[in-house]
Homo-oligomer: A and B are copies of this chain.
């Protein structure tokens, strides 16, 4: 541990995922004393239509 799950609508590039993983792992070490080697991060990239905010699917166009 820690285990972090990051869920977004749409996709991220490999470079974006690598940069987020680098910064978040650093944050958890610096702020919470979690050794970098312990941190697992998973990314879930969901289609827009699998995410709803305020009762509307994203990309609804209305």
- Across-interface contacts of A38 in B (CB, < 8 A): 54
- Across-interface contacts of A42 in B (CB, < 8 A): 1, 3, 7, 46, 50-52
Docked-complex contact A23 and B17, CB < 8 angstroms: no
Report the minimum CB–CB distance from A31 to chain B (whole Å).
Answer: 5
Copies of the chain in the assembly: 6
- Across-interface contacts of A45 in B (CB, < 8 A): 50
- Across-interface contacts of A49 in B (CB, < 8 A): 14, 17
A2 to B5, CA, bound (A): 10
A7 to B6, CA, bound (A): 12
Docked-complex contact B36 and A55, CB < 8 angstroms: yes
Report the minimum CB–CB distance from A7 to chain B (whole Å).
Answer: 5
